[in-house]
A and B are shown apart, each in its own frame.
Chain A
Amino acid sequence: MSDRAQIMIVEDDADIVEAMRIILEGAGYQVEEVHNSQDAVEKLKSYRPDLIILDVMMRTPDEGFQFSYKLKNDPQYSSIPILIITSVAQKTGFSFSPETDAEYLPVEALVEKPVKPKELLAWVSKLLGKD
């Protein structure tokens, strides 16, 4: 593993991926992108990120939730922190806090789209334990 932290973005919106890539690479992270959870599973066979940034609504309205659930229940991957970036929190009335909903959705953080560059970097460095 290189000394630069590896971040995998799982997001089907190419423009959002591009914007995040510029922000994250500008801050010195290495970024890999995939556009759905199936590709993410494939990718994870040969690649181990330090953090996963995950969208929720991709091919299905809760693809991201399903994927995060699967990862967190697999000992091989459960230690990888997940940052969910979504507009779904408003839609479903689903409000997330790690204290109360960790059983239901075991991810480290859930942020509403769009995330401002500074906020995104703050979350990333927090989840990577650099705070």
Chain B
Amino acid sequence: MPTDILTSGPSFREQHLTYGLRWLVYLRWVGIVGLILALSLGKYVLNINIPYLNLWIITLIVAVYNTVFGFWGRRAEKRLGSGEVFLRHVNAAITIQIVADLILLTWALHFTGGVENPMLVFYIFHVIIVVTLFRRSAAYLLALLGFGLASLLLWLEAAGIIPHYNIGLLPVELYQNNSYIFWVVSILGITLFSAAYMASGIVQRLREREQELDETRQKLWEETRRCELSYSELDKVHQEKLAFMHKVAHELRAPLAAMRSCLQVAQEYYPEEVAGKARDMVCRAERRAGGLSALVRDLLNLSRATAIPKSAYNQRVQLDALLLGVIELCRPKAQEEEIAISTNITPEVEVSADPQGLEEVFTNLLSNAIKYSPQQTAVTVSLELTSEEVLISFSDQGIGISPQDMELLFTEFFRANNAKSRHVEGTGLGLTISKKIVEAHGGKITVSSQIGEGSCFEVHLPL
């Protein structure tokens, strides 16, 4: 969709009028060239005897004001979109030019034979131009002006009030022949008014369409603005909710930490007072508090993954080193479960990323691989570099994921049935967090798995 349609720029009316102004100046240059050629032809080829000096002066006057309006028009285009006052200025400029044109045309007709000169019909050009630029009434006014000026000229010449310049195309007496002059003036009047009527009919319909288009454009622009506003309001609410979740999660951590500290002390420092069934119950409470603590931590991570600023993703990160660090961190747990971690890591791989976020992702995926693997199996961690991306994969020989669970794998709080039945603790948020972090990096996580054979999680990061 072209964006200029959506900005509240100059209206069609403004564009149309400034275009009209430019067009008028251009047409007038064509007219001036035509006039120069005609005068040269008359003087040097046809040897017609008319007052050439006066006609050159008229040509010069037209050329001067055309130059002035040409410059004015070019400056006016830079003020497009400045509203009503600007429109009035352009309107006035066009009107002044057209009226000046008609007066000078009449004046030029006077020096070129008056009623003898078929150029009498040239008034029609201005009527048509005015129809395309202004309202219908303006075209009638202009037809009236043209008709009036021509009638005045022919009457003044016929009455002998001003001289008649004979160009020798028609019998001399004609300019004083009242019935001939009546016919010429009548036909000219009919031509001008008919032209105004017919042309304005066509233009009217075009203008209505234009108006509709203009209104539609305005509406579209307003709608777009409204959508943008709603979006930014929604985004604000979303950010506030995230901040609230963050605060709540954090507020939950402090009492949980205190509870766990007290329960741990009860277990370890009061073996006589807390014995037998009481000890078992305290252990259970401590374990559940631990689970809750992990959940709260994951909620914090989730809100952090969603709210982290873009700038955090632009740090240079040595991926191989980061990955080896994560492997070392998980190794004790793997050794406990007799799980071997084998690695295939390309050295010296550097990306722009958020190191803490990626560490979280790798830790999640590797500890999942370890958690859901039977004893004495292997987990393989590899880091590969292709021309487009970095691929980090974690594959295990664990319990695997069923096809129906695969679809829900990255949903909040989802835990696969075979994962729950293994009595492995988990919050169901790890993969959601990982997915958000990787997606914020412009990457993706893919999974392939076979029930009972193992799973492979692949992190694709763009280079």
Measuring CB to CB, which residues of chain A are less than 8 angstroms from any residue of chain B? 13, 15-16, 18-20, 22-23, 26, 57, 87, 90-91, 93, 95, 113-117
Contacts and interface: CB of A to CB of B under 8 A. Distances in A.
Interface in B45-88: none
A61 B179 CA distance: 105
Q: Which 8 A-B pairs have the closest CB atoms?
A: A19-B261, A113-B257, A15-B258, A114-B257, A114-B260, A19-B265, A114-B261, A87-B253
B113 to A, nearest CB: 93
Interface in B223-241: none
B254 A91 contact: no
Contact of A19 (B258, B300, B304): B258
A22 B297 contact: no
Nearest to A95: B356
11 contacts: A15-B259, A15-B261, A16-B258, A19-B262, A20-B261, A23-B265, A26-B269, A91-B246, A93-B308, A95-B356, A117-B265
Which of A23, A26, A113, A114 gathers the greatest number of chain B CB atoms within 10 Å? A114
Interface of B: 246, 250, 253-254, 256-262, 264-265, 268-269, 293, 297, 300-301, 304, 308, 356
Contacts of A23: 265, 269
Nearest to A88: B250
B305 to A, nearest CB: 11
A57 B297 CA distance: 17
B269 A22 contact: yes
A15 B250 contact: no
Contacts of B259: 15
A13 B261 CA distance: 11
B264 A116 contact: yes
Contact of A117 (B253, B256, B269): B269
B250 A117 contact: no
A5 B246 CA distance: 39
A22 B268 CA distance: 10
A57 B250 CA distance: 11
A117 B268 contact: yes
A114 B296 CA distance: 13
A87 B254 CA distance: 7
Interface centre among B246, B250, B261, B356 (most CB of A within 10 A): B261
A78 to B, nearest CB: 29
Contacts of A26: 269
Contacts of A90: 253, 297, 300-301
A117 B267 CA distance: 10
B356 A13 contact: no
Contacts of A93: 304, 308, 356
Among A15, A57, A95, A115, chain B packs the most CB atoms within 10 A around the CB of A15
Given A13-B258, A114-B261, A91 B250 contact: yes
A90 B256 CA distance: 15
Nearest to B293: A114
B332 to A, nearest CB: 14
A2 B265 CA distance: 26
A87 B250 CA distance: 8
A13 B264 CA distance: 16
B269 A13 contact: no
A48 B21 CA distance: 90
A117 B264 contact: yes
Contact of B265 (A13, A22, A95, A113): A22
